[in-house]
Amino acid sequence: MRRAAFVYLLRCADGTLYTGWTYDIARRVQAHQDGRGARYTRTRRPVELIYRERCASRRAAMRREIEIKKMSRARKLRMANCK
């Protein structure tokens, strides 16, 4: 049985968006908050989780991450129901 993975979207303190994937949302968001996440988010803390999507596998999550990264900012915010 495959392990479920998640793709997520963060809003950084400077208003920018960050997209990533993980198996454990809470642990990953905390890593971003603690400055142990992606290099991009280290200087843009605090971050806020605004969207998450469950995927069937790591591979599916990675594919979805790429799709989301190609979206416009406006579309990402609509997807997350944010203004």
Identify the CATH number of the domain in which residue 73 sits: 3.40.1440.10
- Domain extent at residue 13: 5-79
Rg, the chain, Cα only: 12
The number of domains in the chain is: 1
3-state class (DSSP) for residue 43: coil
pLDDT tens, 26-72?
999 999 999 999 999 999 999 999 999 999 999 999 999 999 999 99
Other beta carbons less than 10 A from residue 17's beta carbon: 19
3-state class (DSSP) for residue 45: coil
pTM: 0.93
> In b/e form, how buried is each residue of 42-76, taking b as 16+ CB within 10 angstroms?
eebeebebbbebebeeeebbeebbeebeeeeeeeb
